[in-house]
Structure 1
């Protein structure tokens, strides 16, 4: 479904962003399913459209593992620390962050470092070093973790050539303890990398959380909701702007968990 990109807020101040979110998205209840690409369509679709959505079964095929292996890292989302850097003072986001270098079949974790983005890509939280707690060794040491980073790295290399990929991994839990949770408080944005991989880990007792992607050079976009755990949305960050709409609770304990992996050539953002 194409629609006019009315949600590019990266150059607006935060109060205006919140106001527009409340007006436009608070009552969103329609769930639109994405179009899933098959393994043989994946590379062509990513090259042609700048994005691809992959079903959990295809993710399992790409990793050459059962989905049960991915489920072994899922409990880690239950113990994420609160993100204390939110400029709206919110308590709705919990996260961990670690960095890796992926080259072919080799995955190396780097010394722990702060997450940094320029204001050009994150007008709300850019320009500041944010030091989050690292991802648990119990997760990073799982074989499936390396398989996941390798598999996506291989896709990136098929698009832009074989090379080391500098990967930042972000575990997110957006909860509804205070009534509303904002997966992307900065609004529609790019990350300043080559590729962005967004995996849905789970969503429990929430409405909203709609993925919206836009062509960076036009006002056209798509909207859909990721509902099945381990669905993968892979974006060419140079061509696609993205955001996720706020979530609201359907019952106590409502939350949405994701794993975001960014792949960048030639080093991490400094």
Structure 2
């Protein structure tokens, strides 16, 4: 069984691309090169896998245990909410994720911009090789400007050499079975003669709703709900 796959995302709305210029600096990191926004969703794939129902949940802090983030685990991290409509991108990629059709999933969704400037490298993943504590993780490249590096890596464990490495160009997604492998992203650096560069990514993970603390935390608090037809998007499914 494959535990990762890449695929092309057919459409990234211009409003989503533009929204990355209004992310807020991550206050929990010592370095100042990473900016982000965060949102929570509840999702279900229809029985015939042709439709995704997705609901925006009330905004809450982001939480990970120290099992998955040794430095910033076990604390509630406050981030500004995502303002752009990213549900179309999420739905398209979901068509290629082997979710159970008889259960709801909780999604933790992040917008990230990592900067490269002067002689400093931009750290895309400060914690290094890691798991996110989800069933499946999806990373979508939104934009790259004036940079080299930022290669996505898949590893069997934290200390292993990468079994797979790829540079995700804008409009490309990487889907990973987070329970089976670790993932990492190399640092970015400026291209020659450039003064500022960035790497923009949309990232989220699927957690079975009934298996997580979020069932009690969120209840049924929903801000908006939509159903999206994904019957044309099953291009290269992760089996």
TM-score normalised per structure 2: 0.78
Aligned to 1:215: 156
Alignment of 1:237 onto 2:178: yes
CA–CA separation in structure 2 for the residues paired with 1:206 and 1:217: 26
Show structure 2 runs of 5+ residues with no match. 46-51, 215-239
Aligned to 1:91: 32
Query: How is 1:55-204 mapped onto 2 (pairs within 5 angstroms)?
Result: 56=8, 59-60=9-10, 67=11, 69-86=12-29, 89-104=30-45, 105-136=52-83, 139-140=84-85, 145-156=86-97, 158-177=98-117, 179-204=120-145
Compute the displacement of 1:261 (Å).
1.2
Aligned to 2:4: 51
Query: How is 1:17-28 mapped onto 2 (pairs within 5 angstroms)?
Result: none
CA contact (8 A) 2:117 2:189 kept: no
CA contact (8 A) 1:180 1:248 kept: yes
Alignment RMSD: 2.1
Compute the displacement of 1:246 (Å).
0.9
CA–CA separation in structure 1 for the residues paired with 2:112 and 2:165: 19
Alignment of 1:260 onto 2:226: no
Assess, with a 3 A threshold, how the Cα gap between structure 1 residues 93 and 269 changes in structure 2: closer, same or farther: farther
TM-score normalised per structure 1: 0.70
Partner SS for 1:166: strand
Give CA deviations for 1:72-124 in whole Å, capped at 9, x if unaligned: 310000111100011xx110000000000012332111110111111111112
Show structure 1 runs of 5+ residues with no match. 1-47, 61-66
Give CA deviations for 1:168-209 in whole Å, capped at 9, x if unaligned: 110000002361110110110000010100001111111211
Assess, with a 3 A threshold, how the Cα gap between structure 1 residues 52 and 128 changes in structure 2: closer, same or farther: same
CA–CA separation in structure 2 for the residues paired with 1:176 and 1:98: 25
CA–CA separation in structure 2 for the residues paired with 1:217 and 1:182: 17
**Larger proportion of strand:** 2
Q: How many residues align?
A: 204
Moved over 4 A (4+): 267-270
CA–CA separation in structure 1 for the residues paired with 2:176 and 2:34: 23
**Larger proportion of helix:** 1
CA–CA separation in structure 2 for the residues paired with 1:209 and 1:132: 23
